[in-house]
């Protein structure tokens, strides 16, 4: 037996400010480079942009000093840097394709930071969220169901995962996943002992009783069915992984992961053989470079992305100097390929390392925080980001079949960006509790 205690608990606010300054330089330089190569460089614009970014950073920083003084110091700079690099790349593709996603993404980013600050101000103690365990579960399911409501839901590219609110399309699934993480955390922390210990033993593994498992199974099955019906493969994979990850963290039983993974592989193989939609995805993944598959259009996007990244090489073509716009959806689903082309392997690795840092902070928070609900919440949110990045990057680099998910903070998409800023807000709130010394918490 051993206990882990922190030797010195520094709030880290000053290191956060230093890292933020570095992130600010990266964000502004990225946009300046993009504008320069598109021959649109206006120093006034850059100054306004730089001022706005600095204002947002300071607002977030001051909020943390006020309401979460011990919160994790590297989360915010990492997230800001990712968001800024994403905006620059989206703007770069705007110049090539004459769209205005970049400007919209900037507005979403401002809203995202505002939502984060709002959540930090309103939710002063993450443990209060536990009261809304079942509410969160119902809200999550309703959000998943919304796109199926006639007149409200809209179908884009074969997936019915958007709803239309006042002319804007919103992807409620992005918010539903947070609600379901809260539900799982609240439910599992109450029932983890009965789930882990009580129940019949079959083949040397202990299975939980139906009445303990019931609510979990209902929510899980409903969400999976809805997503399969909406043809949202990436989201169903993400949701399944969150479910398994949190179950494993709560019960410490590897049998769950083994059962879940084998079920998933059996289900995936079955779907790959029978469902035409899934089958074509598998075909495009396994035989991407086959001339027939390519000319049929199923693997065109994937292959173009691969060639883009290959032309980027080790150090990339430079921001604004490549041709990422040759890939369809270069600003959303394939932003990783666009960045891989223009920043090269070196830049992409830096971006992936930033993700690793964010996920590591989430798990470290989970270890450090004292209450079980906070542990599960932080771990669940960490799994969310980790799995999402894996599914996106794995899909784009042809490690796993391509599914439509957005890279957190980088890709264009208002719902995704807002939801991920919400995740950051919750992580900051839990980490404040985790890093504060025990005297300060009890006082």
Residues forming the site for another protein (CB under 8 A):
1-8, 10, 12, 15, 18-19, 22-23, 25-26, 29-30, 33, 36, 73-74, 77-78, 81, 85, 315-316, 318-319, 321, 343-344, 346-347, 350-351, 353-354, 357, 360-361, 364
Closest to another protein by CB, 242 or 385: 385
Closest to another protein by CB, 22 or 48: 22
Strands, E, within 189-271: which ranges? 201-202, 205-206
User: What's the closest the beta carbon of residue 409 comes to another protein, in angstroms?
Assistant: 14
User: What's the closest the beta carbon of residue 366 comes to another protein, in angstroms?
Assistant: 13
User: What's the closest the beta carbon of residue 23 comes to another protein, in angstroms?
Assistant: 6
User: What's the closest the beta carbon of residue 338 comes to another protein, in angstroms?
Assistant: 15
Please state, in angstroms and rounded to a whole number, the distance separating the CA atoms of residues 192 and 136. Answer: 18
Q: Phi and psi of 257, rounded to 5°?
A: -65, -40
The 8 Å CB, 24+ separation contacts for 282-291 are 282/401, 284/401, 284/402, 285/398, 285/400, 285/401, 285/402, 288/398
Closest to another protein by CB, 4 or 291: 4
Write out the H or E segment, with its range, that includes residue 65.
Answer: helix 43-67
User: What's the closest the beta carbon of residue 340 comes to another protein, in angstroms?
Assistant: 13
User: What's the closest the beta carbon of residue 25 comes to another protein, in angstroms?
Assistant: 6
CA distances from 405 to 29, 141, 143, 173, 229 (A): 28, 19, 17, 11, 17
DSSP letter for 156, please: E
Closest to another protein by CB, 77 or 147: 77
Strands, E, within 168-245: which ranges? 168-170, 201-202, 205-206
**Cβ–Cβ < 8 Å for 395, 281:** no
Closest to another protein by CB, 254 or 315: 315
User: What's the closest the beta carbon of residue 78 comes to another protein, in angstroms?
Assistant: 6
Closest to another protein by CB, 99 or 317: 317
- Longest Cα pair distance anywhere in the chain, in angstroms? 70
- Placement of tokens 């398994």 in the chain: 244
CA distances from 125 to 119, 131, 250, 430 (A): 11, 12, 21, 8
**Cβ–Cβ < 8 Å for 386, 359:** yes
Closest to another protein by CB, 173 or 316: 316
Closest to another protein by CB, 26 or 163: 26
Alpha carbon 313 to chain centroid, angstroms? 26
User: What's the closest the beta carbon of residue 357 comes to another protein, in angstroms?
Assistant: 5
Cβ neighbours of 147 (radius 10 Å): 25
- Placement of tokens 């090539």 in the chain: 96
Please state, in angstroms and rounded to a whole number, the distance separating the CA atoms of residues 313 and 306. Answer: 11
**Cβ–Cβ < 8 Å for 135, 78:** no
Please state, in angstroms and rounded to a whole number, the distance separating the CA atoms of residues 92 and 36. Answer: 10
Q: Which residues contact 166 (CB under 8 A, 6 or more apart)?
A: none
Closest to another protein by CB, 32 or 405: 32
Closest to another protein by CB, 85 or 226: 85
User: What's the closest the beta carbon of residue 19 comes to another protein, in angstroms?
Assistant: 6
> Counting Cβ atoms within 10 Å, is residue 360 exposed (0-12), middle (13-18) or buried (19+)?
middle
User: What's the closest the beta carbon of residue 173 comes to another protein, in angstroms?
Assistant: 30
**Cβ–Cβ < 8 Å for 89, 41:** no
Closest to another protein by CB, 76 or 284: 76
User: What's the closest the beta carbon of residue 378 comes to another protein, in angstroms?
Assistant: 14
User: What's the closest the beta carbon of residue 312 comes to another protein, in angstroms?
Assistant: 12
Angle, CA 360 vertex, CA 359 and CA 363 arms, to 5°: 90
Closest to another protein by CB, 92 or 231: 92
């Amino acid at each position: 037996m051993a206990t882990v205690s922190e030797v010195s608990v520094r709030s880290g606010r000053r290191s956060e400010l230093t890292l933020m300054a570095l992130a600010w330089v990266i964000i502004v330089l990225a946009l300046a480079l993009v504008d320069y190569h598109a021959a649109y460089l206006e120093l006034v614009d850059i100054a306004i942009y730089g001022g706005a970014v600095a204002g947002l950073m300071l607002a977030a920083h001051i909020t943390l000093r006020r309401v979460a003084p011990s919160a994790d110091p590297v989360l915010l700079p990492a997230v800001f840097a990712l968001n800024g690099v994403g905006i620059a790349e989206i703007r770069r593709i705007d110049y090539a394709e004459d769209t205005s996603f970049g400007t919209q993404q900037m507005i979403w980013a401002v809203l995202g930071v505002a939502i984060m600050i709002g959540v930090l101000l309103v939710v002063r103690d993450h443990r209060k969220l536990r009261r809304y365990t079942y509410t969160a579960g119902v809200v999550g399911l309703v959000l998943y169901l919304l796109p199926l409501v006639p007149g409200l839901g809209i179908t884009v590219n074969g997936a019915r995962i958007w709803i239309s609110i006042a002319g804007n399309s919103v992807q409620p699934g992005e918010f539903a996943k947070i609600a379901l993480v809260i539900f799982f955390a609240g439910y599992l922390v109450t029932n983890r002992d009965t789930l882990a210990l009580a129940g019949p033993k079959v083949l040397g593994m202990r299975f939980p009783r139906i009445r303990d498992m019931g609510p979990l199974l209902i929510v899980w099955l409903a969400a999976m069915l809805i997503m399969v019906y909406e043809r949202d493969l990436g989201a169903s994979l993400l949701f399944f992984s969150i479910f398994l990850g949190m179950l494993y963290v709560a019960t410490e039983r590897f049998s769950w992961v083994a059962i879940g993974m084998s079920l998933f592989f059996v289900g995936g193989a079955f779907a790959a053989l029978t469902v035409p939609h899934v089958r074509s995805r598998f075909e495009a993944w396994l035989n991407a470079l086959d001339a027939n598959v390519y000319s049929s259009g199923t693997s065109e996007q994937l292959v173009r992305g691969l060639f883009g990244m290959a032309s980027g090489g080790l150090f990339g073509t430079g921001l604004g100097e490549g041709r990422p716009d040759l890939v369809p959806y270069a600003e959303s689903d394939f932003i990783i390929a666009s960045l891989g082309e223009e920043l090269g392997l070196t830049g992409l690795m830096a971006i992936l390392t930033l993700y690793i840092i964010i996920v590591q902070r989430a798990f470290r928070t989970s270890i450090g925080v004292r209450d079980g609900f906070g542990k599960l919440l932080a771990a669940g949110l960490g799994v969310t980001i980790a799995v999402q990045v894996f599914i996106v990057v794995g899909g784009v680099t042809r490690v796993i079949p391509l599914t439509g998910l957005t890279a957190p903070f980088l890709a264009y998409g208002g719902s995704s960006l807002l939801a991920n800023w919400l995740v950051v807000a919750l992580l900051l709130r839990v980490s404040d509790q985790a890093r504060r010394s025990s005297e300060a918490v009890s006082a």
